[in-house]
Amino acid sequence: MLYFSKLRILSITLISIILIIIATSNFFKFDKFFSDKKINLGLDLQGGSYLLLEIDNNPLIEQKLQNFTITIRNYFKEKNIRLRNYQLNSQIISFEVEDENIQSIIEAFKDENSEINAYYPRFKSHEFEIKENGNNFEVYYSKQGLVQLKVSSQDQALEIVRRRIDEIGTNEPNILKRGNDRILVELPGLDDPMRIKSLLGKTANLTFRFISNNSADSFGVEKLEFEDGTEEANVSKRIILSGDNLLDAQPRMDTQENETVVTFTLDRVGAKRFGRATSTGIGKQLAIVLDGKIISAPVIRDTIASGNGQISGGFTFQSATDLALLLRSGALPAPLNIIEERTVGPDLGQDSINAGIIALIIGFILVVIFIFIKYKIFGLITNFTLILNLFFLIGILTIFEATLTLPGIAGIILTVGMAVDANVLIFERIKEELKNEKNNLIAFDSGYTKSRTAILDANITTLLAAIILFFMGSGPIKGFSLTLGIGIFTTLFSVYFIARLLTVLYISKNKEKEGLI
């Protein structure tokens, strides 16, 4: 029946007032609770950068396999089993054994209770596979192992990308996984996209190694370029210290040398290693290598046992700040490649906002005029609830601090149309009921009741489509589906609670009046 209890009326009023206050907090400041909640503007509305990064896992796979080759070699050496033609090629470890050792190799790798699985439990978790061909063996990553490696690499890369972006202080970044080897980065309002690209494009793999002119170095040497590309140096492959031992790094101005440097602090283990290396290496050059290039190679003058040091290399303050940021955030597990990039300027974003608002206003005004002409006083009620519906929608988006995009504005416009559609169905049904029923209260109640099924069916099917779009789509599609989905709930609330309540109040005072609609 067309009846609302006092408690129900009070609940509807309170909910409406709260949502209206939250919605208007986007334009006016109220108390701290409400002012902290805002709708964020997407890239297409406020400008910014969109980057799709792909993780190149090949170097990581090679590194893991390289480490595993040492594990296998050492394990079988302890067992007095000689491996011949031992090599790593195309991400496959291959070797040969004597005929009498074939069974021992098979048992070692395939028996889950074998010592190698206790020593190195990669086979037990099916991360690797072994292929046997007589006395030739091949060891390589299984499909499951590759998936696990990529997922782990993506999780680690996501966290480090987030740290680097947070260090810069970018407003409301959106950092998401895409598949198992891609990361989506949306940076609204970014002023310097080249800087963020430079920071995300560096792996930041830091090592401290001695420069060695001795080709017979027991650890081996490799020729590396200095970062400025002016010269090369032979660097020992022995890693004295890595970026994992860094606790902090900050840019500083060295007043004595009048240059910008990066100071660093090591953890306890790193400080001990650094102290030992500098005490035995006085007079030697210590190469500080970042991503395979020497950024500095100072001569060790004295033992550094404090765990504090500095890196110099002709830095500007900006480059020193970026280097310190990279060192603090940690090294990426694998290189990141930018495979898609879009930049939207703030002027274009403002044009999009203006176009969306104009479209919303024009559509809203046309709907208001049509409804008023068609349904008179009930048209006014409908128009009033349409306005409240927009406030409810904006209020809920504000509570969740949703990101509004241009397709999101399209979803709001569509919500207005759907709200009108529901009211038209109700009023047209009421007209049909009034032809056979002289009692206005019964006719209006029947109109609302009998139209409910059609309205719910239409909105539920639309809601299902919005849910599918939200989970299957990305970027702008999500923005559209989000506003559309929330709009369905606010529309039903405004139609069956607000509009119906106002209709009840009017009908109750005009029970006997004819030609109401």
The string over 442-479, giving b where at least 16 C-beta atoms fall within 10 Å of a residue's C-beta and e elsewhere, is: ebbbbbbeebbeebeeebeebbeebeebbeeeebbebb
Predicted confidence at residue 204, as pLDDT, reads 85
- Would you state the CATH architecture of domain 6-47+345-509? Up-down Bundle (1.20)
Report the C-alpha gap between 246 and 311 in whole angstroms: 13
Residue 172 is predicted with a pLDDT of 67
- Closest by CA position to 227, among listed 285, 311, 336, 313: 313
Task: Give the pLDDT confidence score for residue 32 in this predicted structure.
Answer: 54
The angle, 0 to 180 degrees and rounded to 10, between the axes of the packed helices 193-200 and 317-329 is: 40
With respect to CATH, is domain 206-339 assigned 3.30.1360.200? yes
What angle, rounded to 10 degrees, do the helices at 476-493 and 346-399 form? 40
Cα–Cα distance, 153 to 334 (Å, whole number):
7
* Pairing status of strand 308-315 against strand 40-41: unpaired
177 contacts 154 by C-beta, under 8 angstroms = yes
CA-CA-CA-CA torsion for 240, 246, 251, 256, nearest 10 degrees?
-50
Structure tokens of 249? 């790094």
Strand partners, 93: 88, 139
Half-sphere exposure of 481 (CA within 13 A, CB side): 17
Nearest to 459 by CA among 428, 425, 499: 425
Strand-pairing partners, residue 286, are 210
Judge whether 207 and 218 are in contact, CB under 8 Å. Answer: no
Q: Is the pTM of this model over 0.95?
A: no
3-state secondary structure of 165: helix
What is residue 124's predicted lDDT score, i.e. its pLDDT?
A: 46
Distances (CA, A) of 22 to 25, 27, 261, 384, 400: 5, 10, 48, 19, 11
Domains of the chain, residue spans = 6-47+345-509, 58-146, 206-339
pLDDT in tens, the chain (517 residues): 566 788 888 999 999 999 998 888 887 765 555 556 778 777 777 777 888 999 999 988 888 888 778 777 777 887 788 888 888 888 888 888 888 787 777 777 665 555 555 555 555 456 778 888 888 888 888 888 888 889 889 998 998 898 888 877 666 678 888 888 999 888 877 666 787 888 888 888 888 999 987 765 667 788 899 887 778 889 988 888 888 888 889 998 887 778 898 998 998 888 998 899 889 888 889 998 988 889 888 888 888 888 888 888 778 888 888 888 888 888 888 889 989 887 776 665 677 677 777 887 887 888 888 888 888 888 899 889 989 999 999 999 988 888 787 788 888 888 888 888 888 899 889 888 888 887 888 888 888 889 999 999 989 999 999 999 888 876 678 888 989 999 999 999 999 899 988 988 888 887 777 666 6
What is the per-residue pLDDT for 112?
A: 58
Residue found by looking up tokens 């990669």 in the block = 122
Decide: helix, strand or coil at residue 169.
Answer: coil
Q: How far out from the chain centre does Cα 368 lie?
A: 40
- Angle among Cα 482, 488, 494 to the nearest 5 degrees reads 130
